[in-house]
A and B are shown apart, each in its own frame.
Chain A
Amino acid sequence: MTEQSRTVIEQDSVPLLEVEGLVKRFPIRRGLFGSGSVHAVEGVDLQIHAGEVLSLVGESGSGKSTLGMCVTGMSTPTAGRIRFAGEDVALASRRGRADFRRRVQPVFQDPRSSLDPRWPIETTIREPLDAYRVGSSAERTARVAELMDLVGLPRHFAPRQPRELSGGQQQRVAIAAALALRPELLVADEPVSALDVSVQAQILNLLDELRNRLKLALLFIAHDLSVVEHLSDRVAVMYLGRIVETGPVERIFSAPEHPYTRALIDAIPHADPGRKMSRIRLTGEIPSPVNPPSGCRFHPRCPVAVDRCSTEEPQDTQFDEGHSAACHVAAAALAQRGSIISVLSEGATS
């Protein structure tokens, strides 16, 4: 192996984004709940590699958007570490932080709210180039045209205002602006939730193509699990501020370990009358993150909870390469499988 190829591999093994022990709490005033705080994110670890699509799923209020805001630098974590390309973002110099903000870009659910209604779309797409003084004026103009081509907007749309565009076209403008500074990671919070099926298909195709062509990594926050299954490489399932399971998309959808993941998947209404939703329902609703339940946060709703679930917090257990979940019952089942295997192999050797 040559010196050069080794460095390439080493670089590649450093995740593009590494989140460690991330905590975000929002203080709340006295009143209904007394003083305290909303535990929106409570100790999250995750990694995203270049060109990878990681989806974050979970019911509303589980902390997905808050986590996304921390990752894009729009919100300051209460505790924990965020490393981008190996560098701690909080410890970075001012220039380093500006560089981070260029390389990580957000895309939001409602394209209308992220576009200035008075600006022609070319101005919106050009704005980041102006702000970061990228190239000459002529180069910026050329880059705007290039970006419009990239996201599939006809060039003659350049002088149009957002209200003259459809929802899908507006989302393309938002994505073009997010891509202007050649980011390496997009954090997309429900980017297709407000769109019609046919328009959603266009944006999903676009995201997929950008990932392939630009090796762009994506943190994709979504509640529609069929969209997640379509687009992701890996999935992280969040519940009340914690990631309860993470793994490769095929594994998560075909053989999830955590009961909450299973419940989410069972609730998908398939567009196939022959494939009915599972009859098993998750009862109740996500509790308040001001006073999360003791032990496993999911225990009040868990169909398979055991005694220790209400007192003892389950730790992450690795089930496979890159697949882990935090659940006492799943971990016990794994341990049992392990002991059966060891008994069997002992039997074979003796």
Chain B
Amino acid sequence: MTALVELQDVSVDYAGHGGSVSAVQNVSLTLGENETFGLVGESGCGKTTLSMALMGLLPASARVTGQLLFRGQDLLAMSEAERRQQRGDELSMVFQDPATSLDPTFGIGYQVAETVRAHRRVSRGESKARALALLREVGIPAAESRYADPPHRLSGGMRQRVVMAAALANDPSLLLADEPTTALDVTIQAQVLDLLAELQRKHGTTILLIAHDLGVVAQICDRVGVMYAGQLVEVAPVAELFAAPRHPYTRALLEALPSRGRRGRSLRVIGGQVPDLSDPPSGCRFADRCPHRMDVCATVPPLVDSDSRRRIACWLDPATRATAGLPPVPAAPTPDAPIAVGPS
């Protein structure tokens, strides 16, 4: 896998009134060329913050530390102008709510054409032709006649397609899609996911897909990273993660999902709550809710290669333990041992 993006010990803190919020802590992650990487985790665990750090679009109150490399280039060492240039050339974003990305007063075609012109020096005629081609590519029916329609004339699904057309204008190497289908109906979500997968195939774009719906990730991603309270706790190829989740949080998350096999039975719940990130626990952030907590969990477990395909940050994992010179846990719980059953 050729790396497009390499994050090393990336942390993000937001300065605030009540002290700072540690939104992302020591995340290390590599995104390969041509892959679709899913980032999952519950609300507030730092997914958007991490992707915004990559885009260089965090608010002024945020402080980023660590190393962010894009094609080997150090993003934090670049000037604001250089980053803007690079965003225009290589990166694009699609958000949950297409309304926020589109200007309500202009025609959709014009907005896509403007994005084309922002990236390339082309005539108006050429940018219009390219915009039409992009609108057709994302499946806007009768693109010519809809060219001048303002966004509110389109349904949510169609608006999301327009946003994707604009995001493709610069033929990006990395597309960040933050909950792109969360606001859509399942039927339309399936169409948009098909479109993402097709664009990935055709253009070889690397996609970082943020989603809280594990089903969406299971359907279109190659690899998945699980975040909890600002820490990246497990990274694995999609099939392996879903078939045999190893981090206690990943397991709890999957077992909380309703599924055919669990009809008529109660779902697992994770006792307790996500810690307050303005005063996070100093060690493993899942420790309060983890049934396997040990003394060593008061220290942050590093994210290490558990085997050649999977990375885990948990003191139960032999590879994590080895970094601290600890022997394997005598009776490591099997993946299907009961986990985190809290009050319902």
Contacts and interface: CB of A to CB of B under 8 A. Distances in A.
Interface string B256-282: 111110110011111001000000000
Contacts of A223: 185-186
A59 B242 CA distance: 28
B157 interface: yes
Interface string B194-238: 100000000000000000111111110000000000000000001
B79 interface: no
A110 B108 CA distance: 31
A285 B218 contact: no
B58 to A, nearest CB: 23
B344 A198 contact: no
Interface stretch (A131-139, A200-208, A328-336, A337-345): A200-208
Chain B interface category by residue count: 35 or more
B186 A230 contact: no
Contact of A269 (B193, B269, B270, B343): B193
Contacts of A204: 258, 267
A263 interface: yes
A267 B189 contact: yes
B186 A267 contact: yes
Nearest to B224: A273
A201 B256 contact: yes
Contacts, number: 121
Contacts of B262: 230
A60 B23 CA distance: 34
Contacts of B191: 281-283
B133 interface: no
Contacts of A264: 186-187
Contacts of A206: 344
Contacts of A199: 42
A166 interface: yes
A205 B266 contact: yes
Contact of A281 (B194, B257, B258, B269): B194
Interface in A235-288: 253, 263-264, 266-274, 276-277, 281-286
Given A271-B254, A271-B259, A201 B267 contact: yes
Interface string A271-312: 111101100011111100000000000000000000000000
A201 B307 CA distance: 32
Interface majority SS on B: helix, strand, loop or mixed?
A: helix
A130 interface: no
Nearest to A227: B258
B253 interface: yes
B296 interface: no
B73 interface: no
Contacts of A230: 258-259, 262-263, 267
Contact of B258 (A60, A166, A229): A229
Contacts of A59: 185-188
A1 interface: no
B238 A273 contact: yes
B190 A201 contact: no
Given A60-B185, A269-B190, A229 B215 contact: no
A9 interface: no
A95 B179 CA distance: 48
A332 B187 CA distance: 26
Contacts of B131: none
A270 B190 contact: no
Nearest to B154: A285
Nearest to A283: B191
A51 interface: no
A273 B219 contact: yes
Given A166-B273, A271-B257, A271-B259, A277 B190 contact: yes
A202 B271 CA distance: 9
- The residue in B185, B217, B262 that gathers the most chain A C-beta atoms within 10 A of its C-beta is B185
B155 interface: yes
Contacts of A231: 258
B212 A202 contact: no
Contact of B219 (A225, A269, A283): A269
B182 to A, nearest CB: 10
A209 interface: yes
Contacts of B300: none
A108 B257 CA distance: 21
Given A227-B258, A274-B239, A277-B219, A201 B188 contact: no
B186 A202 contact: no
A201 B186 CA distance: 20
B170 to A, nearest CB: 28
A201 to B, nearest CB: 4
**3 smallest beta-carbon distances between A and B, as pairs:** A230-B258, A269-B215, A201-B267
28 contacts: A167-B43, A196-B43, A196-B212, A197-B214, A197-B253, A197-B256, A202-B269, A202-B344, A205-B266, A205-B269, A208-B266, A209-B344, A223-B185, A226-B258, A227-B258, A229-B263, A230-B259, A230-B263, A253-B260, A264-B186, A268-B186, A268-B215, A270-B215, A271-B218, A274-B239, A281-B187, A282-B190, A284-B141
Given A198-B269, A227-B258, A269-B193, 14 more contacts: A166-B273, A197-B214, A197-B253, A200-B256, A202-B344, A209-B344, A225-B186, A229-B258, A229-B263, A269-B186, A271-B214, A274-B243, A276-B219, A281-B190
